[in-house]
Amino acid sequence: MTEIVIFLEDIDPVDFFGTSNSLLDKIRGFFPKLKILSRGNEIKCMGEESEITIFAEKFNGLIEYYRKFNRLEEEDLERYLFDADHMKSVSNGEFEQILVFGTSGKPVRARTVNQLALVNDYKTNDLIIAEGPAGTGKTYTSIALAVRALKEREVKKIILTRPAVEAGERLGFLPGDMKEKLDPYLQPLYDALHDMLPFKKLETWLEDGTIQIAPLAFMRGRTLENAFVILDEAQNATISQLKMFLTRMGVNSKFIMTGDSTQIDLPKRGESGLLQAMRILSGIDSVSIIKFDERDIVRHKLVKRIVRAYEDEENTRQEEKH
């Protein structure tokens, strides 16, 4: 039996462990073979030496993270404890880079390893494909990059687009004029922009065309130059639509496509242009493909469990087929 003591120097245990020690209880759950006690700023840990060594390394990493960002959130605890790449990036200070300041004054920055990969790959690639489950911040991080590029005059305009086919609904069957038909599909893009730009500035840029939000079909025939272009929900673009979109790229343009291959709403899965693009564009110079996973989910902690449950169900179904 080995015993160590770790001190939380100049850290309020209540802030660090949360109300009623909620984070401490979660940490104990990750190390069931150890006995972990907390008394004020002193953490005592008892157990096998090999387990103690792992705990000490992980726990000191949590302290380092807290000192850097002055926060420690319950839903992110598993990532900080067991994602070695994430902790390496924390140690290197990579997560400190601020993309933009939100309208509330809160800085917007990459929060996961794959979000960070998206930010870094933007510097050297003109086309990025970000694929992964809902809640991983693919679109939000992309829009933050676009807003920064516009503010720093790297581009002259932002173009955000989505295929207007979801859940079996077609525009012709929806009530209202064209704008009213389209707005429900495009609202998530407006929401992200409202988080990052003051209302008046956003309205001005929408009115003068500096920021354009439109369905994918409206991209046909255009050449998009000096623009930051984001195609969201790319899994619902057909093969021909995606080819059309990619060939719109003009001089000094950056393209990002985001999508979730598990949520294809097209009649046939094989019609998804995203799946084909990920297959045939891999390895091409200036093209980056980033695959997000459940570790990147930054929404409610339950979302991660829901995604995992669906993945387990799909894996079971595939195994039964074989």
Domains of the chain: 2-91 (3.30.1370.10), 99-321 (3.40.50.300)
pLDDT, average across residues 4-28: 84
Tell me, what's the pLDDT at 33? 87
The SS3 assignment for 197 reads coil
- Is the pLDDT at 248 greater than 90? The verdict is yes
Q: What is the C-alpha separation between 41 and 159, in angstroms, rounded?
A: 51
Tell me, what's the pLDDT at 141? 95
Whole-structure pTM value: 0.72
Tell me, what's the pLDDT at 168? 41
Tell me which range, 30-34, 110-114, 188-192, 257-261, is most confidently predicted by mean pLDDT. 257-261
- Is the pLDDT at 189 greater than 90? The verdict is no
pLDDT in tens, 105-121: 888 888 888 999 999 99
- Is the pLDDT at 42 greater than 70? The verdict is yes
Tell me, what's the pLDDT at 317? 75
pLDDT in tens, 152-188: 999 999 999 988 765 344 555 555 555 566 667 778 8
39 — phi, psi (to 5°)?
-135, 105
Tell me, what's the pLDDT at 175? 53
Q: What is the C-alpha separation between 63 and 90, in angstroms, rounded?
A: 11
pLDDT in tens, 68-87: 777 777 666 766 666 666 65
Mean confidence (pLDDT) of the chain:
84
Please name every residue paired with 6 in a beta bridge, in sequence order, or none if there are none.
43
- Is the pLDDT at 126 greater than 70? The verdict is yes
pLDDT in tens, 192-229: 999 999 999 999 999 999 999 888 888 888 889 999 99
Tell me, what's the pLDDT at 93? 66
pLDDT in tens, 273-311: 999 999 999 989 999 999 998 778 776 667 767 777 877
- Closest of 147, 132, 85, 84 to residue 113, by C-alpha: 85
Q: What is the C-alpha separation between 261 and 265, in angstroms, rounded?
A: 10
Choice between 42 and 321, residue whose per-residue pLDDT is larger:
42
DSSP element (H, E) containing 278:
helix 273-280
